[in-house]
Structure 1
Amino acid sequence: MKAALRALVLAFAVCFLLPVAGATLWWVAQDRPDGWRTADWGPSGVLPAASATPEAAIHVLAARTGGLKGAASVHSWLVWKAAGAGDWTRADVVGWGRPVRLDAYAADGRWYSNDPFVVGSVTGARAADLIPRLRAAIDAYPWNGEGSYVIWPGPNSNSFLAHVLREVPQIGVALPPNAVGKDWLGPGLGAVRDAGGDIHLSAWGLAGFSLGPRTGVEVNLLGQTFGLDLVHPALKLPAVGRVGS
């Protein structure tokens, strides 16, 4: 019994504590703005102009968030355009008022001065087919009332994105392992099997497990994820993110 307990403690230390500690040491050494007022929220140039992209497109973006929590988490959002549209539409969740916001920021805007990266994309006819379903999932997001946002364990901005991606799994994107809140399925114990075949289990967003072609194998603990992407081979590390393709 003691040997099994020691093995569990060692696994927790190696898989969760060490990556978080390493990411925190790296993060505190970075030059960061003092707060949201001094942060750069302008376009980053990660995405091309909508007018230069004639086909339909959906992009999932993420960027490190602000303050010390940026050591352990990203903020994620959705961007899309119909074929021929001259502007991008952006949807994400914020922590005041009604959480879901459309076009509150530039489509590829920096988040607390941090450049975003593209988590995954769908383009062309497939994107055109999925955009109406995407909009329906956003409109039906169940935690969009004032005061619904909870920074940890959720529902937060990453809970919103994860919900939409479960509702429209054909987008084929899984959020990064350091998207804190993505594993929140609702209050209490939750179990979901999405249309893409992925299984998600969660206990208040504090502990959980995911398995499937989109998420691979994930163990979720206190908002962080350790796991493996089996389709696009990569190691998923808490606070650090994906290591691999």
Structure 2
Amino acid sequence: MYKHCGFILLTGLLSACSSDGWKTASREPAGIAPSPEQEKQAVIEVYAADAYSWRGWFAVHTWIATKDVNAAQYQVYEVVGWRVNRGLPALSHYQTPTPDRYWFGAKPEKLLSITGAKAQSLIPDIEQAVKRYPWANHYKVFPGPNSNTFPAWVGQQVPELGLKLPFSAIGSGYANKDTQ
């Protein structure tokens, strides 16, 4: 049995699970991020979760979270396509004490975690890279730019992160596109 994105695949049969759409899909914290109340050091984390709906069968959605020393919340940076459809930038930034929320029913996986002095030294570089992201107002599922292009591009701008995205981060290769 294989459970994935609100469906169960069981010997070739596809049946709906309890989730009846994105409005009711879980966005609860997964409990894998250090609590800002307990972790006082700086933190950088990158997460991936199965993309919503049918896309989750082969692709993930990725995002970056940072927390400065003694900060009460994380800064979360991600690209979301439906924001463009609403006339907003694809690149989103928000604050939260729980950066590891389920991505519309899909539990995130931590791809990268850096704490302490190294994290504190890299956070300003990440913030500068976010400001320079060339596709902040653009989104295209394939070949990109999309939610995976963004962390891949930040990783190229801040190679000290050592960020490696999974094969299923479709669109991450778009970050190699010449932006000049």
Structure 2 length-normalised TM: 0.83
**How do 1:92-171 residues align onto structure 2 when only pairs under 5 Å count?**
92-95=78-81, 96=83, 97-103=88-94, 106-145=98-137, 148-171=138-161
Q: Residue 43 of structure 2 contacts residue 120 of structure 2 at CA under 8 Å; is this kept in 1?
A: yes
User: CA 1:81 to 1:123, structure 2 compared with 1: closer, same or farther past 3 Å?
Assistant: same
Select which of 163, 174, 180 maps to 1:184.
174
2:79·2:92 contact (CA, 8 Å) conserved in 1?
yes
- Pairing 1:29–2:8 present: yes
Deviation at 1:35, TM superposition (A): 2.2
Aligned counterpart, 1:79: 65
Number of the residue aligned with 2:50: 64
Distance in 2, Cα, partners of 1:79 & 1:110? 14
Structure 1 contact 155–186 (Cα < 8 Å) conserved: no
Structure 1, unpaired ranges of 5+: 1-24, 192-245
User: Against the structure 1 CA distance between its residues 126 and 186, is the aligned structure 2 distance closer, same or farther, given a 3 Å change threshold?
Assistant: closer
Q: Secondary structure at the match of 2:61?
A: strand
- Give the letter for the 1:126 counterpart: K
| 1:80 counterpart SS class | strand
**Residues 1:67 and 1:101: Cα distance change in structure 2 (over 3 Å):** same
Aligned residues: 163
Q: Is the 8 A contact 1:32 1:113 kept in 2?
A: no
CA pair 186-125 structure 1, distance change in 2 beyond 3 A? closer
Output the CA distance in 2 between the equivalents of 1:32 and 1:186: 39
One-letter amino acid of the structure 1 residue matched with residue 127 of structure 2: R
Q: CA distance change for structure 1 residues 137 and 32 in 2, over 3 Å: closer, same or farther? A: farther
8 Å CA contact 1:121–1:171 kept in 2: the answer is: no
Alignment partners' CA distance in 1, 2:161 and 2:69: 17
Helix, strand or coil at the partner of 1:91: strand
Query: CA offset at residue 59 of structure 1?
Result: 0.4
Residue 102 of structure 1 aligns to a residue whose secondary structure is: strand
Report 1 or 2 for greater relative contact order, CA contacts < 8 Å, sequence distance ≥ 6.
2
- Which 5+ residue runs of structure 2 have no aligned equivalent? 10-16
Which runs of at least 4 in structure 1 moved beyond 2 Å after TM superposition? 25-35
The letter for the 2-side match of 1:111 is W
Contact 1:33 1:112 in 2 (8 A): no
CA RMSD, Structure 1 to Structure 2 (Å): 2.0
Q: Given the superposition, is the C-alpha separation of residues 169 and 120 from structure 1 closer, same or farther in structure 2, using an over 3 Å criterion?
A: same
Partner of 1:91: 77
* Cα distance in 2 between the residues matched to 1:104 and 1:138: 15
**Equivalent AA in structure 2 for residue 70 of structure 1:** G
- AA aligned to 1:29 is I
Displacement, 1:109?
0.8
Could you list the per-position Cα deviations for residues 159-204 of structure 1 after superposition, in whole angstroms to 9, with x for gaps in the alignment? 01100011001011211110111011366xx59xxxxxxxxxxxxx
- How far did 1:54 drift? 1.0
Query: Offset of 1:152 from its aligned partner?
Result: 1.2
